[in-house]
Structure 1
């Protein structure tokens, strides 16, 4: 570690060693600790932009040429950065980043590297369909390998097994996935000026013209979701624009900071020529210095970083307040088809296509507040519409409102959540019992993920049951009142006849 720090400082980096140190934390790897009290707004370390490793700073893209870089689609997704990291590592001491790359981990606890036995424990969770190992390997064979074989002067055949193998590709991809940041080109004020465009109520913190850098949240096989976004205080009008893969960068020292739910006390900011890690609140001596992953659910934390978060919950026990459960639209369709039996598969497909064209979602997310998305209910009600009402809705381009206002809809929504719960190999009670046993780390993490998801599902089902009972009670009261009213009205009519 000492040689790495020396390398960092010799290339223009600065660390305030009077307030922080890098140490090993049991179960967390390396991290930063405060060695003295740190006030809010204190600069912990800085580094020049040129010390970040990206497709902008590596010489490989220029050596290959812009035409070849685009020909092999290395300008899309993370394939280009992975190849740059492979190439820089192969240069050994000739590479500017040799000390940095040597300091990075080569083994990971993410599901990408799990055995089939361990992966079995993740059945039913949101992790399984997002690991993407096959898609990642397709990028290796379709992009990287052809590019490597086209330039044997840059990628000598004798080095391919050691530096450009599929196994090395996964290691580099996982390094990016777990440690990279999105560092955009400087588009702010001139050096020394303040950025008046960054609003004070923005989630980007303005510090002398700087804007915050966030860590990457994508997957190295995902061209669309490639980074932990930077919030630079601008509007959301450009949200639909494609993010620039060249913004994704490895940031020495900054990537050593660990993260934990709700614990962030430092954030990385960028300016014209430097990046700066600044404390965002007072940090006491002996406390860990935390960056953030954005308070992610355990399913994403495990998939991307190989760990889970457990904190004390307001309702008691431990868990991750950011946990979510995902309900796919095809599960909603399946529940309606099985229980209502009123529509053919062709009719279902027609309505689903229309739903999506009208801007409907194909995945619905339920958080720990247990609020059922109105869009999920709206889709379900769309499938239940009579033919006449369906034609009216389609002609008006107006899907039904997402209201739980009748027992049939509540019953079907409950069935959706029951089907989702049944996707897991065990019950919540069985998982609680398993966690009391001596387990491998992977299995323990998998159980924690599915426990968090099951708690949301069981909570939603309980609320739906209470809602259904309440509506049934109201219906009974109304029926009783109608019955009493009919009886009372009948007696009055009888008396009038007698008169």
Structure 2
């Protein structure tokens, strides 16, 4: 694998000029089939070996770019650039346009200049994703609306910062999508840190970090994934991929799904971190982790031994294929565990909207459900339920079904207590759940069997279609597996009840004899 590439060499030299440290004997940047650029080990590496360190002031964000200050904070807010990713997108476009006068001029050439993500697919390929969790999360229309109503008017208002003769080539919709995709796939969520000697004051931001607090770094994440950098123990813990994505792509589209998570509210926390974003992730695989040093640097260190030639993995949680495809343009396939079988992503999930539960439950009750639904959304706040490859029904979904079936008197008691019903299963709840699963399966254009046949001869599929079929098959297997598990469980219970009834009847007859 060739790690001696002109782009990679120039990038590393630029990093060094910015006071970063890179162990060039230990690692190299390479183009890896199926993953794009990644980092590979050049020799056998022991555990706890430092691969590189990056100064904290080298991250690129709305805090570190000089554009917001030049533009003026009042005007920045007037155009809505302080919300979501739109401001960071504009900062990146502007910084790149500055050429060598920008602090990050050596960073942009190493970033991807194209993506295989659904954001760039044509309508025919997107149709293959019908029914999956990907479709409603792409947000292309909303992103384009933000470009037209926020970014472009802001650019046109300041010809001194954005020369008119550069607008048609630099500040375009295509480049807007490119920068947005770079953020989606590579951004970190970095809380503001204090300068040396800075004392806390009344204007300090909520959640800002110093050398003794936790910093949340999101590489995604979305949506992009979250890494908690704990300065107190210098350890990074990877969690689910939410932070920069939730404060990013969704927020850029005017949506904020994480209002309750104060850590991820400020879009100014979303940042591009040179070199750290080069490491790829794979399910249940992590050989390097990011640490935060007291010297205000980020340190990438091995957490396992790595053999020469192996790709170095820094896995940001274990995202399902739907998220991997949407963010990065690739999927992860390995052996599935029971109750599923075959190949797929063990982290795959299916999202089930609450309205399907409501529709199924109304077939089993004459009670009006709207008041109960409103109460549920206020108390439980769950309008989407997630099923994983363990094929187990979410307790919250069962609780909602029970709530909708409660007699009026019991419903009144539930309201008074302010607690959702316990997720207790019975034959009626099982029937509702099976109805929901079957309805959700109907949202896909093909069956499990049809998709399995398509993938059996994948040479006939184009790249995008293969990705789409794999994603939707993974989701359908979960639905079909969960349905199968329910049917098995309740058919066994029905048999037990029948045997018990027959036994009781037999004993009764003997007694009468």
Fold similarity call, TM over 0.5? yes
Q: How does 1:236-247 map to 2 (within 5 A)?
A: 239-240=261-262, 242-247=264-269
Aligned-residue RMSD, C-alpha: 2.6
Question: Does structure 2 conserve the Cα–Cα contact (< 8 Å) formed by 1:31 and 1:256?
Answer: yes
Moved more, 109-118 or 217-226: 217-226
Question: Does structure 2 conserve the Cα–Cα contact (< 8 Å) formed by 1:298 and 1:309?
Answer: yes
1:63–1:197 CA distance, 2 compared to 1 (3 A): closer
SS of match in other structure, 1:258: coil
Partner of residue 385, structure 1: 406
Partner of residue 273, structure 2: 251
Shift of 1:317: 3.0
Structure 1, residues 330-364: CA drift from partner, whole Å, max 9, x if none? 01112223x33634xxx221210011122241111
Question: Does structure 1 conserve the Cα–Cα contact (< 8 Å) formed by 2:414 and 2:420?
Answer: yes
Partner of residue 464, structure 1: 486
Partner of residue 218, structure 1: 245
Distance 1:62 1:246 in 2: 13
Q: How does 1:280-291 map to 2 (within 5 A)?
A: 280-291=303-314
1:190–1:39 CA distance, 2 compared to 1 (3 A): farther
Question: Does structure 1 conserve the Cα–Cα contact (< 8 Å) formed by 2:86 and 2:252?
Answer: no
The reply on whether 1:433 has 2:453 as its aligned counterpart is yes
Shift of 1:367: 1.1
Partner of residue 484, structure 1: 506
Distance 2:501 2:36 in 1: 65
- Matched length: 469
Partner of residue 358, structure 1: 379
Shift of 1:277: 1.1
1:258–1:336 CA distance, 2 compared to 1 (3 A): same
Question: Does structure 2 conserve the Cα–Cα contact (< 8 Å) formed by 1:188 and 1:195?
Answer: no
Moved more, 21-30 or 171-180: 21-30
1:478–1:208 CA distance, 2 compared to 1 (3 A): closer
Distance 1:375 1:77 in 2: 30
* Aligned mate of 2:369, from 332, 348, 356: 348
SS of match in other structure, 2:250: coil
Partner of residue 288, structure 2: 266
Moved more, 35-44 or 395-404: 395-404
Structure 1, residues 410-450: CA drift from partner, whole Å, max 9, x if none? 11111111111111111111111101232111111111111
Unaligned ranges ≥5, structure 1? 227-237, 492-499
Question: Does structure 2 conserve the Cα–Cα contact (< 8 Å) formed by 1:34 and 1:286?
Answer: yes
1:378–1:209 CA distance, 2 compared to 1 (3 A): closer
Distance 1:21 1:475 in 2: 65
Shift of 1:284: 1.3
Shift of 1:383: 1.7
Distance 1:208 1:489 in 2: 75
Distance 1:189 1:484 in 2: 85
Partner of residue 168, structure 1: 175
* Aligned mate of 2:432, from 402, 412, 430: 412
Question: Does structure 1 conserve the Cα–Cα contact (< 8 Å) formed by 2:212 and 2:232?
Answer: no
The reply on whether 1:276 has 2:294 as its aligned counterpart is no
Specify the structure having the higher radius of gyration (Cα): 1
Distance 1:460 1:160 in 2: 53
Shift of 1:181: 1.2
Distance 1:242 1:175 in 2: 19
* Aligned mate of 1:292, from 286, 306, 315: 315
Please report the TM-score for the alignment, with normalisation by the length of structure 2.
Answer: 0.85
Shift of 1:485: 4.6
Moved more, 81-90 or 147-156: 147-156
Please report the TM-score for the alignment, with normalisation by the length of structure 1.
Answer: 0.87
